[in-house]
Amino acid sequence: MAAKKYNRINCDFYDQLEIHAMRKEKVEIFFTMKNGEDHLIKTLIENIYTKNKEEFLLTSCGFHIRLDKIISLKKINES
């Protein structure tokens, strides 16, 4: 199955991802996987990078998520 064309994400959302990564905040990411299934993980954002004109994030649990496949993201408040 061929990957769909990358859709650039909103700059404000990109900035939010960078802040979570910089602060090493645990986040909950709900996203669509390559096979079309939705998946939820709780993780840290290790890196944000570009490859072949597409933007991705690397999580501490090893997922490489294309940014336009993220459905929702929220900070996990740990007490």
Closest CA to 54 of 1, 5, 2: 5
DSSP 62: S
Count the residues in the chain. 79
pLDDT of 16 higher than 70: yes
Domains and CATH numbers, the chain: 11-75 (2.30.30.100)
Give the H/E segment covering residue 77: none
pLDDT at 32 > cutoff 80:
yes
Burial class (CB in 10 A: 0-12, 13-18, 19+), 45: buried
Specify the pTM. Answer: 0.89
- Confidence at 50, pLDDT banded by 50, 70, 90: very high
Per-residue model confidence (pLDDT) at position 78: 74
The one-letter amino acid code at 13 reads F
